Structure 1
Amino acid sequence: MKLSRLAYMGLAAAVITGCSSVEKERASGGFEYVNIQPTSALDIPGDLEQPEKGSKYRIPETDIAQAPIGHRVNITAPQQVRPLGLGSRVLETETETRVYFDVVDGMGDSVAEFVRQAARDVLKRRNLEWQEVNENRWLTEQMTIQQTIDGEGGFLGFGGESDSELERTFRYELLQETESHKRTTSLRVNVNDFTQVVGGEEKVVAPLIVRNLETDLLNAIISEVNRKQQLAVARNKAEGIDTRLSQAAEGHSIFVVEDNFDQAWPLVNLALEEIGFEVDDLNRESGTYFVEYSEPGSGFLFIGGDDYENLGIAEGEYEFWLLDDGENTSVTVYKDDKLVSDEWMNKVFEAFKAAVKQQSKL
């Protein structure tokens, strides 16, 4: 099989793959049935009762002369949209070539922009030129592919007794829809203006061929979203999780751990132990750690030295309350059922921040 590019051949990789596996797309085995001629009537011996003829199960006459049979039958399997990336999914009732993405760690502030950038990168990698009709709709330039298909079964179901020239033209359309809450976006791929000409004559192709072209591009974008998300998570882990000193709506000081509650909960435990707070009890449901602080070297039968610095705060029991705040987790501190002072929070902040970052890297 011979291939040539006429325009932006980003699809070439998919086409070449099809050519290399052309034998898998052709029916194989024996085709003796092709030459079997149907009998005109049922031959019943004379000594048997002749059955009554009925039309209930009669096979209607159809014009099947041009239908592919034998080795000309194309057995290409339909490609499936593969939601392999974290947060990607396909609806069971979906009839379009579409995938949904829910925001997950590593996608930043906008899942829509994260997916949009992944789609751009795939189009660039495939050398596809496109126009952004608006923020949520893109059209690629029309592409033309020429192929020479052989007569031995042909390619994609267009076989004949001699080689033929196949020309295919189409463009991709990408459509993105984002939910109002901004935490979910969908991406749909359409193939528009599709035509296929074989031997100078335009041919109608099975919907499967067009659907596979759409699926091929969408799966490539899903893989790119997954790759970018995994890299971002690894990069964030290498940098560690930040903590900042902020104020609650009521005006008191709080620590804000820049990660969700599920990630922050165990990190805060380890960080508190590292800076001198011994965890006596905890309640994950209420997000509370019950701790006791002792100055370095003040423990019973103290020998040697502790591996944390003196925070300059009063010894005693404290409660650290963690509150889920979406992508972040706020930490409020109490002593004797009262909020600690802003001065107390300032004294502990740097040590707490460093401990959280260090533990998140492990």
Structure 2
Amino acid sequence: MKVLQVGMAGALLVSLAGCGLFAEKHVDYQAGATQSESLEVPPDLSKPVDGELYKVPQGGTGNPQAGKAGVANAATVEKPVLPVISGVHLERAGAQRWLVVQDTPENVWRVVKAFWTENGFVLGSEDQSAGIMETNWKEDRVKPAQTGGADASGSGSGEGLSSGERDQYRSRLERGKEAGTVEIYLSHRGLVATVDAHQAIQWLPRANDPELEAQMLQRLMVRLGGNPAVEVAVKSGGEATLQVADNGVGSILIKDEFDRSWRRVGLAIDRLKWVLDDKDRSKGIYFLKPIKAGGKFKLPKEAGESMANYRVLVQDGGATCTVLVTAADGSSDASSKLLLEALYKNIQP
């Protein structure tokens, strides 16, 4: 199988992934979601009330006699649409980066949503109460002026040549450890066009690029009014090892305290694009929704919808934490073993 070369490689889009802490509160995550199956669900992020403040003014022909009055009215409506954020800084621990914003979840949500729109992405799913929004796949384009050629589509639309790559992003908001703060995590997934033996184009997953993720997070930081040159260093996490007990049950030992271990496991879940039905930080449990085969790992066919009852446990051991993947009754089977191995491969320092 060959990687498709279409046009010249354009400037790649950028991004970042992450996970964090949230005040626990069980809510109905099936309500208020545009497309709940592709969402992870950190609870306790309230949904803004619909109203004029959330409506983006639309342009139109209008009355030519309105003149300056129409412009003034539009400006009046625009001002409260995107609030001024109180403060924002970037934190980093090893390969992990995330933003800490000093403002309400409602205000931060509105600015993050506008950020994706301004960068040419269409939101494929969003759940304000869960704090999750996910973009549709966007194909990278190289403008004809950059390549000296014509639009590969032949449509004359001027959209440019395909670079043979697509990007998708998920942003997740959680209440921060400090009162009055919100943490933002971004995760990225990429596809690359390939040509099979029958000369048919297929889109396959491409390797994650941490540098691209870091650049996208910096863009969001600037959009929120922060200075990307200011970075707060957080102690890097310790080593994570995969272990198997005498009874055959596997686990991950993380040489790190609970707060950071919880964040690292959540980040790994983001990268795998697993979807949470709920989570309970006080008990160290992530509750998984059904996981379909065909992702970054393979599941037994018999797993089916039973995956809805699997959960990830982060057990606090003081200086270390133990991570388990079990069924609802606490048992371990072939599927939980595969899930644990996939989780281990995506846990970063």
TM over 0.5: no
**Bigger-Rg structure (1/2):** 1
TM-score scaled by length of structure 2:
0.30
TM-score scaled by length of structure 1:
0.29
